[in-house]
Structure 1
Amino acid sequence: MSARPAVAALGGGHGLAASLQALQLVTDRITAIVTVADDGGSSGRLREEFDILPPGDLRMALSALCDTSEWGLQWRDALQHRFAGGGPLGGHALGNLIIASLWDLLGDPIAGLDLVGRLLGARGRVLPMAGEPLQIEASVLGADPACPDEVTSVLGQVEVATTLGRVLSIRLNPDPPLPCREAVHAVLDADWVILGPGSWFTSVMPHLLVPDLRDALVHTSARRMLTLNMALNTGETQGFSASDHLEVLAAHAPDLHLDVVLVDPSVVRDRGDQLRDTAQALGAEVVFAQVADPERPGTHDSLRLAAAYRDVVE
């Protein structure tokens, strides 16, 4: 076990969960570093009412790392259970409420997440990317269809994720954010750092805007892998090619060097020559691997993604 690589996986939402499920088959030394800018749904309601980190993406990461015993899977399902109805509990995930309760009880977000991890028998640790809830602000071209050439500011994760315009850049409020020291140390101590997959501007890029975390990503001795999404030209990245994703990353973190860009060949136009050229400018090799889930278009298959991670890491 000691020979297995230490991996820090950065992202949020379903993309990070898919990556974590795959990584469990490669190593038992995993640290998930999760975005904390969500302001929608159950997370947004709890964040606004109690001024806490949005727990939803943290809950999903913990659930993805659960032990595969009957105990672990039952607790995973319990944490993921969402209350129905239009009452005060309607729409809340039980895990969000448990996490918020533990934070209130313990007064320490990291200790609360570690305790939920113990409950799940989690095969890894889950940490927030920052020590305070963050707000995403984006510069968007054509957010108002009536003014397609106008650049305006769009506030909030939900608003950025659903904008009708083209996202040009993002920033975080407050700036600079309070860093999570444990997350910084996890990146510095890793053998591999994996960015993505996930919503590009609202789950992946925000990590590069926390100065201490970005510096750790730049200076770590770990190798760095970027996992591209299975669906690139949708939502907040409408009109983006695979190469455009890398250019956005370089614009937000010009000093960041990559070693590997992992991508399913189905999402790359023509032969992928442009992607190779853009990746090479970042110091990276492009690795093409069949990682799509044939039963669920636009998503990763955990076993295929695990095989791709194993081949690259080993």
Structure 2
Amino acid sequence: MALLTGPLPRVPVAQPDRPGGARSQNPPSVVALGGGHGLSASLAALRLLTTELTAIVTVADDGGSSGRLRRELGVLPPGDLRMALAALCDDTEWGQTWRDVMQHRFKSLDHVEGSLDNHALGNLLIVTLWELLGDPVAGLQWAGALLGARGQVLPMATRPLTIEGDVLTEDATGKLRSTTISGQSKLAAAGRNTHVNDVRLIPEDAPACAEALNAIELADWVILGPGSWYTSVLPHLMLPQLRDALCATPARRILTMNLATDTKETSGMTAADHLAVLQRYAPEMKFDVVLADPFAVGDRAEFESAAARLGAAVVFGRVGTPGRRAVHDPLRLATAYHDIFAGEHE
């Protein structure tokens, strides 16, 4: 079998209609919001469609390498920002090499407690730039330039945030008990037989990143999700300035659903329940399209009704990788986005 090399193809897409009915053939300006592996999947697809791409990333991570750097140095957690940069790396040998460098994790020798153990080199590089430049946005711009990133990466806020949630847990007698869990890493691993009842950002009124607000205002398309629902997707609708910008933007809005709904964080929830959570926390937020893989939705009528309450039409598309793993396939996801951008779902 021949091995294809070189850059992946780009598919030209039209921007949405603007006042006056004009439709531009320039690459659409797209803002993608989320965190972790979900945002990386979305970026890996979108980078095939446009060069005008901005990632807006959650900054509440408190686990692993990011958590250690946050606690020890008082910086933004760099991990999700690093993953977004890596997803935007160019397809040249330069870009792919730097992607691997950014994702490389140090591993200490057996029986040695090393200070670098499990740190990702990209996290250290980003924090170094922040300390030298004194500006988190400028540091990410320099990191993106080094990697040849196809787009820019911005934090949702320029100070670290904390996610706190009330979790209902069923005890041995069958009674529900409420426990408050503080921290993204703990909340994301709340476990089976639990139900996240309430989620809060601390501080709840932290200022959003000014560059992120500007990108949302100027975008043609805004895409939220996929990702951990309570800790990567929902926070963007909980930060007041960011939520207001998402509601006010003239851009069209897409919500990308996860491939798996019953996770440790969302135990027992259906796809429709996921939509209800967003409506509960941001009732004024409306979407144009909800993109979902048909295999991730049980009751289609219930799901479409929930989407309609968000003002959205549902587009079903096979966007997962072949096999049993719940992972988005970049090419399939890019095709789905392309068709939505082109209005082929209407």
Letter aligned with residue 53 of structure 1: L
Shift of 1:152: 2.5
Shift of 1:296: 5.8
Residues 133, 265 of structure 1: alpha-carbon distance in 2 compared, 3 angstrom cutoff = same
Partner in structure 1 of residue 341 of structure 2? 313
Residues 146, 80 of structure 1: alpha-carbon distance in 2 compared, 3 angstrom cutoff = farther
Q: 2:319 aligns with which of 243, 266, 291?
A: 291
CA distance in 2, matches of 1:147, 1:34: 38
SS of the residue aligned with 2:82?
A: helix
Partner in structure 2 of residue 103 of structure 1? 130
Q: 1:87 aligns with which of 114, 129, 132?
A: 114
Letter aligned with residue 122 of structure 1: A
Contact map agreement 2:170 2:176 (CA 8 A) in 1: no
CA distance in 1, matches of 2:170, 2:119: 30
SS of the residue aligned with 1:237?
A: coil
Shift of 1:178: 2.4
Partner in structure 1 of residue 4 of structure 2? none
Computing the radius of gyration from Cα coordinates, the structure with the larger value is 2
CA distance in 2, matches of 1:148, 1:162: 21
Partner in structure 1 of residue 176 of structure 2? 149
**1:52-79 CA distances to partner (integer Å, 9 max, x unpaired)?**
0000000000000011111111011000
List gaps (5 residues or longer) in structure 2.
Answer: 1-11, 13-24
Letter aligned with residue 221 of structure 1: P
**1:128-169 CA distances to partner (integer Å, 9 max, x unpaired)?**
001100100012111766774222321000110111321122
CA distance in 2, matches of 1:121, 1:148: 54
Letter aligned with residue 107 of structure 1: G
Residue 279, structure 1, aligned to residue 314, structure 2: no
Contact map agreement 1:138 1:155 (CA 8 A) in 2: yes
CA distance in 1, matches of 2:208, 2:161: 11
Contact map agreement 1:37 1:136 (CA 8 A) in 2: yes
Q: 2:66 aligns with which of 43, 51, 54?
A: 43
Partner in structure 2 of residue 11 of structure 1? 34
Q: How does 1:1-314 map to 2 (within 5 A)?
A: 3-85=26-108, 86-142=113-169, 148-164=175-191, 165-270=194-299, 272-295=300-323, 297-314=325-342
Contact map agreement 1:7 1:190 (CA 8 A) in 2: yes
TM-score normalised by the chain length of structure 1: 0.97
CA distance in 1, matches of 2:207, 2:244: 14
**1:31-89 CA distances to partner (integer Å, 9 max, x unpaired)?**
00000000000000000000000000000000000111111110110000000123100
Contact map agreement 1:143 1:152 (CA 8 A) in 2: no
CA distance in 2, matches of 1:87, 1:135: 27
List gaps (5 residues or longer) in structure 1.
Answer: none
**1:247-272 CA distances to partner (integer Å, 9 max, x unpaired)?**
000011110011000000001114x0
Contact map agreement 1:143 1:166 (CA 8 A) in 2: no
Letter aligned with residue 164 of structure 2: E
Residues 100, 243 of structure 1: alpha-carbon distance in 2 compared, 3 angstrom cutoff = same
Letter aligned with residue 147 of structure 2: L
CA distance in 2, matches of 1:133, 1:146: 39
SS of the residue aligned with 1:292?
A: coil
**Alignment: residue pair count:** 313
TM-score normalised by the chain length of structure 2: 0.88
Residues 11, 146 of structure 1: alpha-carbon distance in 2 compared, 3 angstrom cutoff = farther
Contact map agreement 1:141 1:148 (CA 8 A) in 2: no
